[in-house]
Amino acid sequence: MASETVSGSTSHRSSVSDSEIAHFSALAKDWWNPRGPMAPLHAMNPLRTDWVASRTTSLKPSEGKSLSLLDIGCGAGLASEAFAKLRFETLGLDASPDGIEAARAHQATYPLPPSAASLTYRNGSAEDLVEEGAEFDVVSALEVIEHVNDPQDFLHMLATLTRPGGMVAVSTMSRTPRSFAMAKLGAEYLLRMLPVGTHDWKKFIKPEELAAMARNAGLRMTDIAGMSYLPPRWRTTRDTGVNYIAMFTKG
């Protein structure tokens, strides 16, 4: 229902435009306010990160290490901090320098507990990591793919950054009349839960479309769940008509 900025430079087809980066950069100073413009993300975050963690228990990290996780489009680090607390060695990556600055400031002000794994942030593009040959056990792109210029290219990039046998988590919104009414008109214009212009409904992706593009990128869908707000909290459901989250395996 809300969105985090995608990592990437505007010179690549799979990356977002300067206007997308600027839109979310303007929100960076309020990102960690649970009652601010990112309130929906705060409410949804535990469901997303716990769901990812529960679907990656079959992965075996290197001896003496935790699973490595790349959080693409991390914004100011809501999911990144949660993943580190869940003991993933986490790299939060975002194209917005303001978002990364806010993430680092929050980490400095509220240090992670000793039980957490490492957490680092990087301002830059996922394309840079591809060029460096980086690979991770898990790659997450939460509320990101609906903001990229070419979702198919983006999924290829996620697959490239995932080690063989590793997993990719994607959450997004389905392009349905209900999502237009709820996530676009309702959340942005009527309830003012999100800043106007956060979403372009035409770029929402149906689950079957996401599955097909993932197959083209060498990823196999292994699980999918709807995400619905059932007071007092967000819960997983079978309803993928608005928000949903999917897990894929490489190879």
Which residue numbers belong to the known binding site for S-adenosyl-L-methionine? 48, 73, 94, 142
Quick one: tokens of 61? 């990290």
Give the DSSP letter string of 153-205. Answer: HHHHHHHHTEEEEEEEEEEEE--SHHHIIIIIIIIIIIS--S-TTS--GGG--
Give binding residues as ranges: 48, 73, 94, 142
Instruction: Name which of 74, 76, 75, 56 is nearest 66 in CA terms.
Output: 56
Amino acid at 197: G
Residue 174 phi, psi (nearest 5): -85, 145
- Cβ–Cβ under 8 Å, residues 25 and 105: no
Could you identify the residue written with the tokens 């003012």?
Answer: 192
The strand order across the sheet containing 119-123 reads 119-123, 89-94, 68-72, 136-142, 162-173, 243-250, 219-230, 233-237
162/166 Cα distance (integer angstroms):
6
